[in-house]
Structure 1
Amino acid sequence: MADKFRQDGHQAQNAAVLLKVAQTMAKLGIAPFPRNYELFYDALCGQNAALTRDVASLGPEPAQSRLDEVGIKHHLPGFAAIATENIRADAAQTISAINHGLNNSIAKKEAFAALLRHFIDRLETDPVAGMSEFADDAGRLRDAVTAFEREERAFAISMRETVAQLGGIGSDIEIMRKASIRDPVTGLANRIAFSAKLAALYDDGNAAGPAALALVTVEGLRDLGESHGAATAEKALKKLAPVFRKSVKKNDFVARIGANEFAFVFHDVSADNADAIAQRIRASVEAVEITLPNRTFTSETLSLSTGIAMALTASSSTDLFTQAELALHAVRAGGGPGVLVFSAAIGSRATKTYSPHAA
């Protein structure tokens, strides 16, 4: 019953945030684009203090370009297309400059070649021409060579600068690619990357091997943010991220998939192994002390509720996610925190009022 009250409270809170997003956007004259809803939802949820500050500094009726700048700065997935278009425009401008430089260089080379052919023709067709005339032609040819060498050096420098600029554009593209699959607060993979990872477990329609999915809720994180501010919750998340990374093998996977929710994929494990790993991660999290603002000698701790499902006993990635979520729901319904591996008994106890989310 206590868990139901918590669930209802969290749902009510999310509904309140969504209503506040719509009201805030309307008040500030923000266009109702999906990416703008994402921006203001993330800002008002308070899980990224820097984003919240940047949005607050925009003022009333900010230009869409300023909203896009903030979204791109904080690597929000909805703004990836805008960032990609900016990069594409920069690349197109750079390529146009290269084309102009090449055409200019070719034209100068052709002019020099014509001058050289003219000089050679004079030597062949008019061998008795006066020395002064040849001297004049030689002087013009020498000047042309000097100018040609100068232009070639300038073009070479321009090409090096252009190559460096293209390298920078390539780096920007790589940064955006990584940002699109990374959580900006923890640096862990995000839900987009998690969905791809989960789908890859069933590439050919069957489980790739003995893997386990663990869905985790960080107990106490939401209350920490509500009581002590978004910056404190963000600091806690940044402390948990390295704990999670160090707690899994190199070929395992961890992602942040919600405000206080994470997902792990353990490879080559049995149900007992997965349970033991989850228990170890929980103990590591409970050992982390979160200092409170303006309270030097006061700290709080967090814990984990974890639901585990095994890939070999699920028919698809969606089924695997549903089983793990049912196990997590059972843990929290029992008062949590704790760890529970999905079983047929848990599935049979699932009520019709519980609707698991698609992965």
Structure 2
Amino acid sequence: MPATSNRTPTPDIAAQITHAMRMMGVAPIPRNYELYYEAYLGSNSQLSKELATLGSRATQDELDEIGARHFSHIHHSRGIERAHSTMAAKLCELVNLLKDEQYALESYNKVLDEAYLNMTNKSAASADILRHAIGILSEATADTMSQGKERVQSVVQKSVEMEAIRQELDEYKRIANTDSLTRLANRRAFDDSLAAIYNSEHVRNFTGLLLADIDHFKKINDSFGHPVGDKILATVANVVRANLRRDVFVARTGGEEFAIILRDSTQEECLQAADRIRTILASAPFKNTKTGVNYGAVTLSVGVCMATAADDPVDLYNKADIALYAAKNAGRNRTVLFEEGMRKDVGRNWLIYRR
């Protein structure tokens, strides 16, 4: 069942949640609102239990701890700052270790110079010179080797710690590039991937951009409420992701629009992929099995443009967008390939998405 919300919230859901937060002494800030919004929907039973356990007058630290577990995309910036600070501290420690090693080597060089001077001193007896020089070298070498082993061990440990921090930062980057609702890549990640197409002539020659937009999505939100609309968005994302190769880049670029970057693909393969997703989605049932509410068919309009038909990333996006608009204008639930003639006759008209 694609959408499973067991209640249809009243239009003043925001006011109800805000009132409840105020009664419990919870600050009405965005990250707190999201916690209580999810609890209201009942879509996360563990979250609801944890908030209930806190009771009234929960502290902000307690709420942030829950938020960090359930909504890392909201709280990841604090973790990034902490990881960067730790990384900086470890780097300083490593630099200091290397400085100590340099100092030890400089000291050892001075000892060697002293031994050389003693050995070349013509006024001292040969046996005394050798005995004294060997004593100096033995002691200095032993100390230097001992210190060197300790520093090697310290450098290895610091390297292990820094690798762990690097992995933590990579995870924060992944979170920062992920859409929290659909778990697809977000607009930030899409912009980077779109730009990368034009870094290689080979990639450009075999890459297509697909822009897909859910038809009449505003009507869905108006009829059934935004919580149902969110669940439908998540379901559409799952359908799109499940019917493409694992290496294909898929993003939610805003609202009800999705972007697909198909590399190593011909124009025909791009069109086939677009039609496959569109056909499968149109036949999928969108019904609440608990209440019996049928949300009706959910369809996509898709615009396709090959990278070779555009001069740069911005031009590619604009042309795929023109093709998407053409699909909307032609009746929706269809795939349209960009053609140069469209530029003269078709322009972006945001009003079509408000119908």
Into which bin does the TM-score normalised by the smaller protein fall?
A: 0.5 to 0.7
Quote the offset at 1:94 in angstroms.
Answer: 0.5
Secondary structure at the aligned position of 1:339 is classed as coil
Task: Give the letter aligned to residue 116 of structure 1.
Answer: L
Quote the offset at 1:16 in angstroms.
Answer: 1.4
Return 89-98 or 179-188, whichever deviates more.
179-188
The question of whether the paired residues in 1 share the 8 Å contact of 2:186 and 2:253 is answered with yes
Structure with the larger RCO, 1 or 2 (CA within 8 Å, 6+ apart):
2
Quote the offset at 1:129 in angstroms.
Answer: 7.0
* Unmatched tracts of structure 2, length 5 or more: 1-6, 199-204, 310-314, 337-341
Secondary structure at the aligned position of 2:244 is classed as coil
Match of 2:161 in 1: 165
The question of whether the paired residues in 1 share the 8 Å contact of 2:283 and 2:297 is answered with no
Task: Give the letter aligned to residue 308 of structure 1.
Answer: V
Tell me, in whole angstroms, the C-alpha distance in 1 between the residues paired with 2:115 and 2:211: 80
The question of whether the paired residues in 2 share the 8 Å contact of 1:279 and 1:339 is answered with yes
Q: 1:215 aligns with which of 213, 228, 231?
A: 213
Percent identical among aligned pairs is 17
Query: What is the TM-score when the length of structure 2 is the normalising length?
Result: 0.60
The question of whether the paired residues in 2 share the 8 Å contact of 1:266 and 1:274 is answered with no
**CA distance 1:325–1:254, change in 2 (3 Å):** farther
Q: 2:120 aligns with which of 92, 117, 124?
A: 124
Quote the offset at 1:281 in angstroms.
Answer: 2.3
CA deviations 1:277-322 (Å, max 9, x no partner) are 2443226744x99998xxxxx9x9996332334569xx99589769
Aligned counterparts, 1:312-351, within 5 A: 339=333
The question of whether the paired residues in 1 share the 8 Å contact of 2:275 and 2:335 is answered with no
The question of whether the paired residues in 2 share the 8 Å contact of 1:43 and 1:51 is answered with yes
Quote the offset at 1:257 in angstroms.
Answer: 6.5
Match of 1:277 in 2: 276
The question of whether the paired residues in 1 share the 8 Å contact of 2:271 and 2:304 is answered with no
Match of 2:302 in 1: 308
Aligned counterparts, 1:7-22, within 5 A: 13=11, 16-17=13-14, 20-21=17-18
Match of 2:151 in 1: 155
Is residue 68 of structure 2 the alignment partner of residue 71 of structure 1? yes
**CA distance 1:154–1:177, change in 2 (3 Å):** same
Quote the offset at 1:97 in angstroms.
Answer: 0.5
**CA distance 1:48–1:285, change in 2 (3 Å):** farther
The question of whether the paired residues in 2 share the 8 Å contact of 1:214 and 1:309 is answered with yes
Task: Give the letter aligned to residue 64 of structure 2.
Answer: L
**CA distance 1:42–1:174, change in 2 (3 Å):** farther
Secondary structure at the aligned position of 1:263 is classed as strand
The question of whether the paired residues in 2 share the 8 Å contact of 1:48 and 1:185 is answered with no
Task: Give the letter aligned to residue 281 of structure 1.
Answer: I
Tell me, in whole angstroms, the C-alpha distance in 2 between the residues paired with 1:324 and 1:23: 42
Q: 1:189 aligns with which of 174, 182, 185?
A: 185
Q: 1:263 aligns with which of 254, 258, 261?
A: 258
Return 250-259 or 139-148, whichever deviates more.
250-259
The question of whether the paired residues in 2 share the 8 Å contact of 1:18 and 1:41 is answered with no
CA-atom RMSD in angstroms: 5.8
Match of 1:92 in 2: 88
**CA distance 1:106–1:58, change in 2 (3 Å):** farther
Quote the offset at 1:189 in angstroms.
Answer: 2.0
Quote the offset at 1:58 in angstroms.
Answer: 6.2
CA deviations 1:222-256 (Å, max 9, x no partner) are 98x989xx9xx79x968973x43241356754335
* Unmatched tracts of structure 1, length 5 or more: 1-8, 203-207, 293-297, 332-337
Tell me, in whole angstroms, the C-alpha distance in 2 between the residues paired with 1:65 and 1:322: 48
Secondary structure at the aligned position of 1:215 is classed as strand
CA deviations 1:312-333 (Å, max 9, x no partner) are 9xx99589769959978999xx
Is residue 56 of structure 2 the alignment partner of residue 62 of structure 1? no
The question of whether the paired residues in 2 share the 8 Å contact of 1:17 and 1:44 is answered with no
**CA distance 1:191–1:175, change in 2 (3 Å):** same
Match of 1:24 in 2: 21
The question of whether the paired residues in 1 share the 8 Å contact of 2:184 and 2:251 is answered with yes
Secondary structure at the aligned position of 2:184 is classed as coil
Q: How many residues align?
A: 318
Is residue 142 of structure 2 the alignment partner of residue 146 of structure 1? yes
The question of whether the paired residues in 2 share the 8 Å contact of 1:212 and 1:269 is answered with no
The question of whether the paired residues in 2 share the 8 Å contact of 1:220 and 1:302 is answered with no
**CA distance 1:114–1:25, change in 2 (3 Å):** farther
Match of 1:4 in 2: none
